[in-house]
């Protein structure tokens, strides 16, 4: 049978001491102001002009995407025509 060590503090005392250490270790910290500003910059809402310029970029993106798809369809059509004639011979 396990005997209690007379030098070991009772459970409640141990837990109270642990709580005190936790309170001393887990202390609130204030993020440095430059860090707060930097984060604010990162999450800021884009201005109206930026949104307009983004839409401009999207239009360009659509044009590029449309051009690529058209080129792809053209290549496929030429390839099919070529194989059509080759297969007939």
Residues that bind other proteins (CB under 8 A): 14-15, 17-19, 21-32, 35-36, 38-40, 42-45
Nearest to 20 by CA among 33, 31, 9: 9
Minimum CB separation of residue 1 from other proteins in Å reads: 19
Q: Which is nearer to other proteins, 42 or 80 (CB)?
A: 42
Q: Which is nearer to other proteins, 34 or 85 (CB)?
A: 34
Q: Which is nearer to other proteins, 14 or 70 (CB)?
A: 14
Minimum CB separation of residue 72 from other proteins in Å reads: 34
What SS3 state is found at 4?
coil
Contact indicator for 24, 32 with CB cutoff of 8 Å: no
Contact indicator for 54, 46 with CB cutoff of 8 Å: yes
Structure token pair of residue 51: 């949104």
């Amino acid at each position: 049978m396990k005997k209690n060590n007379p030098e070991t503090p009772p459970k409640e005392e141990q837990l109270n001491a642990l709580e005190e250490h936790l309170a001393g270790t887990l202390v609130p910290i204030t993020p440095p102001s430059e860090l707060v500003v930097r984060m604010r910059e990162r999450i800021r809402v884009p201005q109206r002009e930026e949104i307009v310029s983004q839409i401009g970029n999207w239009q360009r993106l659509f044009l590029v995407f449309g051009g690529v798809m058209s080129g792809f369809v053209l290549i496929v059509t030429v390839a099919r025509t070529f194989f059509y004639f080759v297969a007939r011979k």
